[in-house]
């Protein structure tokens, strides 16, 4: 159990201490991971930025991910998507909706912090936890095409299934806990409020 996202980030920083002094690029999946990226960047003496990806929501079950889309429009679709009612027309419409959100966020964030080029850098992608792993899959796929020297996935907690899905996409995966009784990311935090846009923008500005 983590006290909050900052506590989780401090514990991750201990496991990632080998990268201190290597000027890593810490990329957060917004919004929840942005406070964590701030802690990691400070403790590992690196830069922070965001990687813009969005969950594709299941029909009538918006909390369930059927996949994810990245800023370029590339999407990962989970193999079970059709079985819970996500046909091609639904996926196309949901992808369009989420890409609009990504573009809106880029417009919001760009004046606060210019995007950092990951090419040739040690890149650490952080999220507050993985349930299906869909957004992390999209983030790692997006970043691999941009030629980082090393691509690291760092999460405090993950379902075992999500961890298995993302292992082949990163050069290193650091996960503090992958319990068999995983049900939701929030169950492993005592304090797990939603991170709002104002907080994200303040962290990027600072």
What would the mean pLDDT of 38-61 be, rounded to a whole number? Answer: 97
Listed residue (48, 50, 56, 47) closest to 74, CA to CA: 56
> Would you state the pLDDT for residue 110?
86
pLDDT at residue 206 is higher than 90: no
pLDDT at residue 117 is higher than 80: yes
> Would you state the pLDDT for residue 113?
83
> Would you state the pLDDT for residue 101?
96
> Would you state the pLDDT for residue 103?
95
38, 48 Cβ separation under 8 angstroms: yes
Pick 54-108's CATH classification: 3.40.50.1000, 3.30.1310.20, 3.30.360.10, 3.40.50.720. 3.30.1310.20
Q: The whole model's pTM is what?
A: 0.95
For residue 112, what pLDDT band results from cuts at 50, 70 and 90? confident
Evaluate whether the domain defined by 5-52+114-205 bears CATH number 3.40.50.300: no
pLDDT at residue 17 is higher than 90: yes
The ranges of the chain annotated as CATH 3.40.50.2020 are: 5-52+114-205
């Amino acid at each position: 159990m983590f006290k909050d996202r900052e506590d989780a980030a401090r514990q991750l920083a201990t496991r990632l201490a080998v990268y201190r002094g290597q000027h890593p690029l810490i990329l957060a999946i917004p919004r929840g991971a942005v406070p964590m990226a701030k802690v990691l960047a400070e403790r590992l003496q690196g830069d922070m930025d965001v990687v813009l990806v969005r969950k594709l929501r299941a029909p009538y079950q918006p909390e369930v991910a059927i996949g994810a889309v990245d800023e370029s429009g590339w999407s990962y679709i989970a193999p079970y998507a059709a079985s819970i009612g996500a046909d091609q027309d639904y996926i196309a419409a949901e992808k369009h909706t989420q890409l609009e959100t990504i573009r809106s966020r880029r417009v919001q964030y760009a004046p606060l912090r210019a995007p950092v080029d990951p090419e040739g850098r040690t890149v650490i992608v952080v999220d507050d936890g993985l349930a299906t792993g869909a957004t992390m899959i999209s983030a790692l796929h997006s970043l691999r095409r941009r030629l980082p020297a090393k691509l690291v996935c760092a999460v405090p907690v993950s379902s075992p299934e999500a961890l298995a899905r993302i292992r082949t996409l990163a050069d290193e995966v650091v996960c503090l806990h992958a319990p068999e009784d995983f049900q939701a990311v929030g169950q492993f935090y005592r304090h797990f409020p939603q991170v709002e846009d104002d907080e994200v923008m303040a962290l990027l500005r600072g």
